[in-house]
Structures are given as C-alpha cells and as structure tokens.
Amino acid sequence: MPRLEEVANVVLRVPSIVLLDLLYRWDVQAFAELLRPKQEEALWRRRALWHGYYLGHVLCVVVLLLPVRSLVRLYLYGLTLLLLFVGHQTARDYMRLEMEGEFQGAVYQDPVVLSRFVTALTGQIFVSTLCALLMKTKQVWLFCAPLLPLLARLCGLPLQALPVVNTFATSVTVVEVLYVAASHLLVPFHLAAAACREVAQGLEMYRLVALAMSLWSQLAVPVLFLVFWLVLFTLQIYSFLASSNSLLAQQGLLFIFLSSVAECCGTPYSLLGLTFTVSYLALAVLNLCKFYLLGYDAFQNGNVMHRGVTEGVTLLLLALQTGLLDLQILQRTFLLSIILFIVVTSTLQSMIEIADPIVLALGASQNRSPWKHFRSLSLCLFLLVFPCFMAYKIARFFHMDFWLLILVSSCMLTSLQVMGTLFVYALFMIELLQDAPLEKTDEIIYYVNAVSRVLEFLVAVCVVAYGTWESVFGEWSWMGASVIIIHSYFNVWLRAQSGWKSFLLRREAAKKINSLPRATRGQLRDHNDVCAICFQEMNVAVITDCGHFFHTGCLRKWLYVQDTCPMCHQPVKPSATEGPQPDGGERAEPEPIPEEQPPENADAEAAGRARTPGPSRTAEEQENPALAEPSRAGLLPEAVPSEGGKPMDPAGSRTPQPVSQGCTQ
C-alpha cells in the first residue's frame, strides 16, 4: 500500500500540470479579440473569459497541492459524475432510437427493440453499480435515475412521454449532484485552515527552507515533472510519426528527436520537466558508469555531486539566459542542440571524475584481474574518443565563432584529462613491473595534472572574458550578469587560488626537503627502524630538526599539506646545513629545543612513537583525520595488499585516490 500511495501521489497530480501547461499555451488574448465589444453582452463575455482563465490557474494549483487522500476522493467524485453523464447520454441515445423506430408495442414483441433494450439496460445497471462502488455505498438506487426512461418504455408508456421522463431523470441527477456539492461546500475552507495550521506548526519547529524541502518531498516534485514531460514527449513523438511517414526519411531521426524536445519545452512547466528529465538521465548514466567499473560495490558510497543535479541546473540556467521559451520552434531546436551539447559535456566530465580515481587506484594496486583493467581502459577510451566525435559533429553543423570555439575547447579538455589519466596509469603499471620505484614519479604526476588544470583555467577565463564583452557591448541582463559572476568566482577565482596555493606549498616543501640533512649509512644502521609514514625500510632518509628519520618522498608529500613533523608535530624548518652528507660522515646536529631535551635513547623512543602515537597526536588526529590516515586523504600512498599477501611498497611517490577497495574485489 505505501508503494501504491506513492504512485498515486504522482499520477493523480499530473493532470493538474497538464492543464496548467495547456492554459499557458492558450492565447487567451487572441481569443478575446474575437469577442469585440459591439454590445454590452460581448463585453461581459470577455470579462467572464478572463476571470475564468485566472480561476482555472487557481483551481489547478489548489488541486496540485491537495493531500493524497483528498485528491483520491476528488477523483472518485469526478469519475462518478462522469459515469452519471455517460448513463444519461446512453439513455438519451436509446430514447432517440426508439422514437425513430416508431414501434408502439411492447419491447419483447420485436427482436430488434428487445436487443436494444437489453443492451441499454445492461449498460445502465453496470454504470449504477460502478457509481455505488466508487462512492462506497450500498444504496445503488441513488444512481439509477438514468434507468427511468428505460423503465418507462418497459411499462408501455407512449413514445411521446419518453422525453419528459428523461428530463425528469436528468433533473433528479442534477438535484443529487447539487446536494452533494452543498454538503461539501465547506470542505475547501477546512482544508485551507488545516494547511495553514500545518504551515504555522512547521515554521515554529523548522525554518522556512526545511518546510519548503518537506513540501518538495511530499509532492515528489522531480518525479512528478519527469512523468509529465515523458507523457508530453511521447505524445509529441507519436504526432510527428503519425503526421507524415516521409518526414523521418527527409529530416532524419536526430532532427525529429531534437524537434520533439524543442516542442516539449515551450512553457515554464515543460522546461522544468525537461530539467528533471535531464537530471535523471545524467544520474542513470553516472550510476551505469559506476556499476560498469566497480559492480554492486559502487553504490555503497555516493557522491552528492554525481547525482545529475549539475546537468539539470546547467540546462535550466542556459535556457533562461538565452531566452529559449521566446524563440520559434526552428530557432529553439538549434539552440537546444547547443545546450544539450554542453550538458553532455558536463556529464562526460562527471564520468571522468568517477573513473579517474578508480583507474589510478587499479594501476597502483597489484590487482591482476584482466577484466577489471579492461573495463577501466575501455571506459577511458570511450571518454577519449567520444568528446572528439562530438566536437567534430558540432563544428560541422554550426558556423565556428568564438563562443562555439570555447565550447569545443571545453569538450576537447575532457579528452585531454583522459589522456593524463591514462599516462599516470601507464606510469603505475611500469613501476609495478620494475624492482625499484621510478624516480620523481610524483613530480611527473603533478605536472601532468597541472597542464590539464591550467588549460581548464584558460578556457574558464575565456568564457568570462567573452561573457563580459557580450554583457557590456551586447544585450545586458541580470541573469547573464549573475551567471558570469558565479562562473568567475567558482571556475576562475577559486581555481586560481587553489592552484597558486598548491604551487607555493610544493615550492616551500621542496625548499625544506633540500635543506634537511641526509642520514648516513651509519646513522640508518644505528636507527634501525622503518619510516614512520609508510612503514617501509629506509635506505635513504632525511633527518628533521627534532631528530626523526623519514623517506624524502614521504616527508615531501606530508609537507605539501602541513609544515609540522608527523611524529612530534613541531614545525619543520630549513636547516642551516644544506645538501646530503658524504657517506660515512656525520649529520648536522639539530638545534636544541629548550622546552624539552631529547633523552639518550631518542631513537628508541622515536621508533616507539612511530608505532604508538601519543595522546596529543591522537587528539589532533581526531580533529584532522588526514593526520591519522594521510593515504585516505590523498596525501600519501596507501599500502594496498597484493594478491600474494606481500604488501606493496608504497615508498615511491604515488598518489592514487582512495578507491582501491572497489578495485580489489
């Protein structure tokens, strides 16, 4: 029953949106011009027409906002009224046929008259019984008024008396309907009062936004507009195909599809329906991408940004900014094709964001499953080729200008990002086949990603520059200005700030690493411990001012995030003595710390702290989870167990995203 109630909550509200859409499409001004006021009666009709037009909008909105149970009851009353109308129409048709036949005898004397009577009587009994079932009453006689003309004919009344009997039956039904309407006259006021009380209680308990979200969930707005638009689109496709069989051969399937979509977004209601439809389609594509890469494990942890919301909002903003609703059907079709091109590009970008960490984690792990590698590589190849194909098609279809060049460039950046992902994946696979890790792998990965980010930043700057130029020297609007401001902040300013901060952190970390003294072989032999970051043996290490030993690459990645020692959390400062010490020489002594002198067994205590963090470190790890598990935050490589049980050496500078659990299934 709950599932049936959810279906009814959506299906029963769709007719209200359909009526609102039809009222918006209806040119009431042109219809009112036909009733030019040559006399007072025509002027009154025009006023009544406009009042009925606005009243229709109000009634549709009220029906749309009704609770489910009240909505079901309203539909039951409406269906009963429709059945009574059908019953009276059937009785009227029977009476007309009897009067045309002019047979004055009993109904059982003529087989044709008897057959017609039995058919009409069966239909009237069925209608009366169905009305009683809908109203949940056993008093079937309340709905038997359409049977009166048939009973009069059965009793042998003359044919001239049948119209009088039929008029009396219609009057009885009208009186019953008026009585029911009068008895429920205060129901709308009771519903309005109950709604006001619920809104007041909701505002007391929650805020206005929470109340709006609750109403959004109760009305199931996304699914409601999705069903409405799909019904509209299905009818439009059917009308296109039924109108002319040669239209498909002349224009092609793609043009028919785009024209149907353009016809179904000519009103604000249908545009909202298209927005939610695109969102659900993008969500389905992204979920299919996750399922193809990871199987059923992909649905355990979902990303909020990968729910199709971005694609739907993008379509809605572009449609409002470009004035899609005000264009003719042909212009709307071409503009909609460009908007859908941008939406598909955004969906491909989301697919790359899903596939990139999975592919990199698969390359960094020692997973030997060919099927997993094939799925990841095949999806990457699709994301590499399909954007190029889209850019080629749209470049052939439209005249190339600066705005279209920006769109094509953003589409080509998608392929460039995939090439960077495949390049890093190849580095990981080559490194797995070698005994020792590659030199400066982390630096190579950083520069590959930096090239992609810089190109994305340049495209974003071009979009802002072109949009500003159009706003200043072209047509200016608040919608366009707001879109430019939002785009400038999120895609230009935040990207530039993040990139510059990352560059400064890396430069400072490299400066500190180069200034720290290198441990000699004797010091490593006396230390006799593993790196406290990656827990691997140390053949080459650096020594911090506080006397702790770390791998160079591990400490560099740590310093990319924060400038404190991973063990004691003291600031890591550049040492006065720079460069590596000669083999067998002595390392530079760290500056003494006045607050606390290191004990004689500092190395042993350092090893103990490497395995058992102190209370201060535990407290800081609770505040910042990246300190406890830096590999999960993408700061350090994660030790992924191999199939043979031997842990992988993550001492090399790899930075895959933390999705290896889905790749090792």
Residue written as token pair 């009222």: 23
Both tokens of 298, joined, read 């992909």
Residue written as token pair 């095949």: 378
Is the separation of the CB atoms in 14 and 231 below 8 Å?
yes
Q: How many CB atoms are located within 10 Å of the residue 91 CB?
A: 25
Annotated catalytic residue within 131, 531, 534, 565: 531
Q: How far is CA 335 from CA 3, 28, 383, 392, 459, in A?
A: 40, 28, 25, 18, 21
Q: Which amino acid does the sequence have at 138?
A: K
Q: How far is the C-alpha of 468 from the C-alpha of 568, rounded, in Å?
A: 51
Could you tell me where the DSSP H helices lie in 246-328? 246-251, 253-263, 268-294, 309-322
Task: Say whether 39 sits in a helix, a strand or coil.
Answer: coil
Q: How far is the C-alpha of 410 from the C-alpha of 340, rounded, in Å?
A: 14
State the angle between helix axes of 441-473 and 402-433 in degrees (0 to 180), rounded to the nearest 10. Answer: 170
531 catalytically annotated: yes
Q: How far is the C-alpha of 233 from the C-alpha of 222, rounded, in Å?
A: 16
Both tokens of 599, joined, read 């004990």
Task: Say whether 641 sits in a helix, a strand or coil.
Answer: strand
- Dihedral sign computed on CA atoms, order 150, 152, 155, 157: negative
Please calculate the CA angle 236-238-242 and round it to the nearest 5 degrees: 120
Both tokens of 309, joined, read 């919301």
Using left for φ > 0, alpha for ψ between -120 and 50, and beta otherwise, residue 344 falls in alpha
Residue written as token pair 């606005």: 54
Beta-bridge partner residues of 550: 542
> How far apart, in Å, do the first and last CA atoms of the chain sit?
38
Is the separation of the CB atoms in 597 and 604 below 8 Å?
no
Active centre residues (catalytic) = 531
